[in-house]
Structure formats: structure tokens, C-alpha cells
Amino acid sequence: MNKIKFLILILVLILIGCGKKNDGKNLSLYSYGDYVNQEILDIYYKETGIKVNCDTFATSEDAYIKIKNGGINYDLIIASDYIIERMIKENLLQELDLDEIKNFDLIDDRFKNLDFDFENKYSVPYAWGTVGILFNKKVIKKNNLSWNILWDEKYKNKIFMYDNARDNIAITLKKLGYSVNTCDDKKLEEAKKELIKQKKIIQAYLSDAIKDKMINDEALLALCYSGDALFCCKGNKNLDYVIPDEGSNFWIDGIGILKCSGKKKEASKFINFLCRKDIGLLNTEHICHSTVNKKVLEALPDEIKKNKIYWPSEKDFKRCEIYHDLGDVLKKYDVIWTEVLAED
Amino acid sequence: MRKTFLWSYIFWIIIFIFVPIVLVCYYGFTQEKNNLFFFSLDNFSRVFKLIYIKVFFRSIVLALICTLICFLIGYPVAYILAEKNFKFSSQLLFLLLVPMWMNMLLRTYAWFVILENNGLINFVLSFMGLKKISFLYNNQAIVLGMVYNFLPFMILPIYNSLKKIDLNIIEAAQDLGANAFKIFIKIILPLSLSGIFSGVTMVFMPAVTSFIISNLLGGGKFMLIGNLIEQEFLRTGDWHFGCALSIILIIIIFCFDFIFRLGNKKNNNDNYGGSLF
């Protein structure tokens, strides 16, 4: 019988070990990989004694599905605009108390009250950027590019694309002259055909690995987010980034508090902390994505502030469209992307 | 006392094998609308679309190629290791197992350093004035990754079965005038068949279901059945279709296991490890 008691004891110990401590001394954050400067989390720990644990995901869709299906609990999430829109619709986010987040005033008006979360009831902008082409300017000596270059046979096996459905389909739609939020079946079918055609000349579909690979000159062209592009250009002087002529996507990631979190107060404090000028500065310089904070922008050195990758011109900005949650049509996007990947 | 352990085992099977399979079947045969589940065969009719059949076909072909290569490399290696005059066999066996202490993901990532456009091999090639070759992101790279990862699973069972062969039988054959070739064909090969079949099973099964190797070394371009299931569960969240795919995959694996088992039975060997049944 002693053996059984021993077994039970072990089981109990394991179960205790699995239980999460809930003493208000820690917060959990779910975010893109390499998207929050560890240094600021350390500062927060020093200032408040609250430890913020950051788990990462590769794409917003992955995160959404994990949260939607339950089984994981986080207090805070950093996600893309259209995913936030969807999470609001599906009641996965808590309403924010903006009185708790005083630094919200520091955020540039152009990033407030956007369609996906009007009046910022559920999310506070975190960072923003565009989608464009990262290219090797030593080989491709051009100032303006069209999306068509990513379909050019000349660059066979010299192109990287992201491995997510939304970005690939959106830029294909843009190439064809449609909106990034197209729902029309015929137009989507056209985009699918283009993507299948493109697959033959692509070297690989990657996610974060694109950064390292481009810095190491593994390819000449890549689909890239502006912040990542800036990071790559710092690492490899031959690289440059443009927003193609046809226009592109302008994205804005926000931070929100998940419904399942019981620590709204602590989480709000952390969001407030993120919006602080010194913290925003540390963060944007590390992650390279553009800041949403007007005070941070003022404080940035000229070389970053005036960099057209970090802060595109008004003209470029106007050419870009924001993603919307397309509801059930997104399922079509998923099927299209699955079939593109399954094709030879 | 023994009964309690038996019950804990049964409990384990129910929780971790039986319940999940029931759930997979439940999801596979249903569709969801407005949070309501209803019976449907749509998932299966989608599985049998040409495009997904191609994915299954590709997975099986790559896994078979991988198994064949593993066998062609693994058998001679096992043979040399089992040789009674071979001094370093235990050391070599140890070396064979050492890489398996490391995480498979890391081992696969290591190939990038070697195969990349600016990797080790291409560095040597360009140093010698030759043209660079792109090794990564194609079918060959995937097969290479699979063979590298699964080779020990082929070598070890064959080695075991070869080691078990009674040397007196071979000596008897030699006394009766059989040459080395004849001994191999008539004695060693038939007696090692059980090891071969168990090696084939143990390589084929992980190869046909693998998704991380094809994802990394294939650059996401060559979708195998494992990738498709991963995509449905983690990316698109269509668990119903994912479960339908899993059911078909289970059936395929059972079929192949059955074939391998049949081959083994014919050679009346009783000790067949690594089988599902």
C-alpha cells in the first residue's frame, strides 16, 4: 500500500506544480516573437516587483486560434488590427479603463479611433508599420518597385515570402489592382492562380527566419514588414525597402486585456507603463517597428525619425490600406492558402 | 497489488489513447455551425479532392524513398557493426546514438549551416572556383533530413537481429562448401528479415507523418500530410477537416503496417518489434 500512497503523493505534487501562482506578482503576455524588449520587462520588475512573462507566437492567426479554443490563459495580448477586431466581435477582450491608462494621451491621434477598435475601448496601439519589399539594391538598382518583381522569372529561387495567408493574398490582390480586403470570389480565385504561379519561383516561405536569411544574402527579394526591414538594413548595408507602386498594407498592432484575465488592474498599469516615453523609446529602438507615441517620435534621433522605412512619407502612407476582419470570408483565404501550399 | 497497476494502465490507455481517438472521429464526422455540431461527410469529400490526394501521395513517396535509402545505408552499417571480428563496434554504436541525445529540431537546424546558399558546402565550392548550388528547399533536402534523423531506427533493429544469428549455422554452411555470397543470401539475409521489417516500420512511420523536417528543409513549399494537419489545427483552426485527415492517415499507417507484417510473417519469424499490433 505504501507504493500507492507514494504514487498518489507524486501525482499531487505534479498537480500542484501545474497550478499557476496567482498572487498578483506576475503577468503573462502573449506577443509576436522578438516584439517586446526584454530590458523594459526587467525595468518593470524593478519598479513594481511584478514579473511579466512573455510567450510568443509566429502569426496573429495562430494566437487567435489558441485563445479561441481555450486551454491557454494570458493576461495581455499584442495582436494585429484585424485580429483585434475579430476578438472584439467574439467577446474575447475586456473593455479597458482609459482612466487607468493616463499615458494614452501620448499616443498620436492618427493611430487612435481607427475602424477596428473605434474609441479604443478594447486596445491601445502598440506599434505600426507597412508591408513592402526588402531587396538587395546592389543587384536591383531601382528606387521604385512593383509587386510584379516578386513574380519575375529572372529572380527564380531568390525570393522569400511570408508563410501566412493574409499577407500573401493581400499583396497579390494589390498587384492585381484590388483592395486588400477583397471578398469577391472571382477576384480571390484570380489571386490564388497568381500565387500558385509564383510558388514555382519562390525559394521558401518563412516567418521570422526571413530576417537572418536576408542579412546573410540568402536571397535578393523578400516580402517584409517595415520594422523587420529596418532591422535587416542595419545588419546588411546592401538592403533597402520600398512600398511598391500599387500600394500596400498599413498595419497597426494593439495591446489588449484578455477576457480570461483576472488581473485587469495590474494589466492596465502595464499598458500605461508601455506608453511611457522612456519605455517607448527603449522599445522602439530595440524592435525597430515604428512607434505610435508622439513624444517618443520627437525624442528619436534624426537618423531614425527621418528614415523612410521607419516613417514613410505622407504619399506612401496614403497608398496603404488597413486590414479588416472579413468574418467568414477569412475561411476562404485559409482554404486558398492551404491549396496554394498543397500545389506542386 | 498487480491488479492496481493493471488498472492504472487501463486508465492510461482510456485517457490518452481511447478518448482522443473517439474525439478525432467525432470531429472528423461533424461540422460546426453557430456552435452546433451536426453529422457531415463534407470533411471526407474534401480530403478526396485531387489536390489533397496529391499531398498524401507526396508524403508516401518521400517516406518510401527515405525508407529505401535508410535500408541501403543501414544494412551494411549494421552488418559491419555485428561482425564478430570488428573491434570498435561498441564505440561506433555509441557514436551512432550520441546525436539522438540532442533535440531533433536542433539537429535539423544544423543542416542549414551546411546547406545554405552561403553555407559550408557552397563556401568550399566557391573557394574552389565552382558554381554555387542551392541545396536547401527541395525534395532532396527533405529526404536528406529524414534519412539523417531516422537512420538509427533502421540500423539498431537490423544490428540486433544480425547479432542473434548463431555462428554455428554459418560455420556449418561453410563446412558444406557454401561461398560467402551464398551464405549471405541463404542464411544471413533470411535470418535478419525480422530486423529489416521492424526497421522499415520504424523509419516509415515517422517519415510519413513528419512535418517539422519538411517545413524546415522544404521551406514550406512541399506540403506533406503532417504539414497539412498542422496547418488545419494551428493556422486555420479547422479541426474538423484536420481530424478527417488524421483518420485517413491512421488508416494508411495501419495498411502499411499490415503489409510489413504480412511480409514478416511469411518468413516465420516471431520476434518482430516496432509493430503496431
Answer yes or no: do A118 and A262 share one domain.
Answer: yes
How many residues does this entry show for chain A? 344
C-alpha cell at B203: 523509419
Q: Is ipTM strictly over 0.90? A: no
CATH number at residue A276: 3.40.190.10
Asked if the structure places residue A31 within a domain, the reply is yes
C-alpha cell at B65: 524513398
Check residue B1 and give its pLDDT: 66
Mutate to test the interface with B, among A60, A86, A212, A341 (most CBs of B within 10 A): A341
Asked if the structure places residue A9 within a domain, the reply is no
Beta strands in A144-211 (DSSP E): 159-162, 204-206
How far apart are alpha carbons B195 and B202 in whole angstroms?
10
User: Do A151 and A245 touch, CB atoms closer than 8 A?
Assistant: no
Asked if the structure places residue A45 within a domain, the reply is yes
Give per-residue pLDDT as tens, B256-270: 988 888 877 766 555
Closest to B190 in 3D by CA, of B161, B163, B167:
B161
- Phi then psi for residue B237, to 5 deg, are 75, 20
Using a CB-CB cut-off of 8 Å, the residues of chain B touching A334 are 235-236, 238
Give per-residue pLDDT as tens, A64-80: 988 988 778 899 999 99
Answer yes or no: do A45 and A152 share one domain.
Answer: no
For chain A, the domain total comes to 2
Answer yes or no: do A289 and A196 share one domain.
Answer: no
Answer yes or no: do A38 and A62 share one domain.
Answer: yes
Closest to A338 in 3D by CA, of A58, A61, A115:
A61
C-alpha cell at A343: 500545389
Using a CB-CB cut-off of 8 Å, the residues of chain B touching A62 are 234-235
Check residue A233 and give its pLDDT: 94
Asked if the structure places residue A78 within a domain, the reply is yes
User: Do B206 and B253 touch, CB atoms closer than 8 A?
Assistant: no
To the nearest whole Å, the CA of B117 is away from the closest chain A CA by 6
Asked if the structure places residue A278 within a domain, the reply is yes
Answer yes or no: do A226 and A296 share one domain.
Answer: no
To the nearest whole Å, the CA of A33 is away from the closest chain B CA by 16
Letter string b/e over residues A198-211, b meaning 16 or more CB atoms within 10 A of that residue's CB: beebbbbbbeeebb
pLDDT mean by block of 10 residues, chain A; 344 residues = 56 54 76 91 93 90 86 90 92 91 91 88 94 94 91 94 93 95 95 95 92 93 94 94 93 93 91 93 91 92 90 90 90 92 87
CB contact under 8 A, B51 and A342: yes
Answer yes or no: do A60 and A112 share one domain.
Answer: yes
Alpha-carbon distance values, A18 to A54, A64, A74, B170 (Å): 18, 24, 15, 57
Answer yes or no: do A226 and A288 share one domain.
Answer: no
Check residue B99 and give its pLDDT: 87
Would you kindly state where each structural domain of chain B is located, as residue ranges? 49-266
| Chain pair A-B, CB pairs under 8 angstroms | 74
Answer yes or no: do A81 and A120 share one domain.
Answer: yes
Answer yes or no: do A29 and A41 share one domain.
Answer: yes
Tell me the mean pLDDT in the region B79-90. 85
Asked if the structure places residue A147 within a domain, the reply is yes
Answer yes or no: do A106 and A162 share one domain.
Answer: no
Give per-residue pLDDT as tens, B209-265: 999 999 999 998 999 999 999 999 988 888 999 999 999 999 999 999 888 888 777
Check residue A17 and give its pLDDT: 52
Q: What angle do CA B160, B162, B167 make, to 5 degrees?
A: 125
How far apart are alpha carbons B67 and B199 in whole angstroms?
9
Q: Which domain holds residue A199?
A: 129-250+318-342
Contact of B118 with chain A, judged by CB distance below 8 Å, is answered with yes
**Chain B CA closest to residue A215:** B118
Percent residues over pLDDT 70 in chain B: 95
For domain B49-266, say whether CATH 1.25.40.10 is its number.
Answer: no
Instruction: Give the one of A165, A206, A342 whose C-beta lies nearest to B223's C-beta.
Output: A342
Check residue B275 and give its pLDDT: 46
Contact of B231 with chain A, judged by CB distance below 8 Å, is answered with yes
User: Do A268 and A97 touch, CB atoms closer than 8 A?
Assistant: yes
CB contact under 8 A, A69 and B134: no
Asked if the structure places residue A305 within a domain, the reply is yes
Answer yes or no: do A117 and A152 share one domain.
Answer: no
Tell me the mean pLDDT in the region B189-205. 91
Answer yes or no: do A135 and A203 share one domain.
Answer: yes
Asked if the structure places residue A146 within a domain, the reply is yes
Residues of A engaging B, defined by a Cβ cutoff of 8 Å: 3-4, 59, 61-62, 64-66, 68-69, 157, 163-165, 199, 202-206, 216-219, 331, 334-335, 337-339, 341-344
